[in-house]
Copies of this chain bind each other. A is one copy, B any other.
Amino acid sequence: MNAQLANWDDLRVFLAVARAGSLSGAARRLGVNHSTVFRRIAGLEETLDVRLFERLPNGYALTPAGEETLGIVESIEDGVATLNRTVTGKDLRLSGSVRITAVDMLAFWLLPDHLARFRAAYPRIEISLAVGNETLDLSRRETDIALRIGNTPPETLVGRRVGQLRFAVYGAPDYCAAHPDTELAAHTWIGLDGGHAPLTRRFAQFLPGVRPAIRSNSVACTVRLAKAGLGLAALPCAIAERKPDLIRVADLPDSFALDLWLLTHEDLRHTARIRAVLDFLAPALGTALMSDPDGV
Contact = CB atoms under 8 A, between A and B. Distances in A.
Interface stretch (A70-78, A127-135, A246-254): A70-78
Given A50-B89, A50-B90, A5 B83 contact: yes
Contacts of A121: none
A24 interface: no
Given A12-B8, A88-B3, A270-B2, A69 B83 contact: yes
B87 A3 contact: no
A87 B65 contact: yes
A48 B5 contact: no
A68 B86 contact: yes
**Interface core residue of A65, A72, A83, A270 (most chain B CB under 10 Å):** A83
Nearest to A92: B51
Interface residues of A, number: 39
A271 interface: yes
A85 interface: yes
A46 to B, nearest CB: 11
Nearest to A74: B79
A181 interface: no
Nearest to A75: B79
A85 B88 CA distance: 31
A267 to B, nearest CB: 8
A85 B69 CA distance: 11
A293 B270 CA distance: 72
Nearest to A68: B87
A48 B8 contact: no
Contacts of A49: 88-89, 91, 93-94, 272
A269 B270 CA distance: 46
Interface in A165-211: none
Contacts of A1: 271
A73 B5 CA distance: 15
Given A9-B7, A11-B8, A51-B93, A2 B79 contact: no
A4 interface: yes
A213 interface: no
A75 B87 CA distance: 15
Given A75-B79, A80-B8, A84-B48, A2 B89 contact: yes
Interface of A: 1-5, 7-9, 11-12, 48-51, 63, 65, 68-69, 72-73, 75-76, 79-80, 82-91, 93-94, 270-272
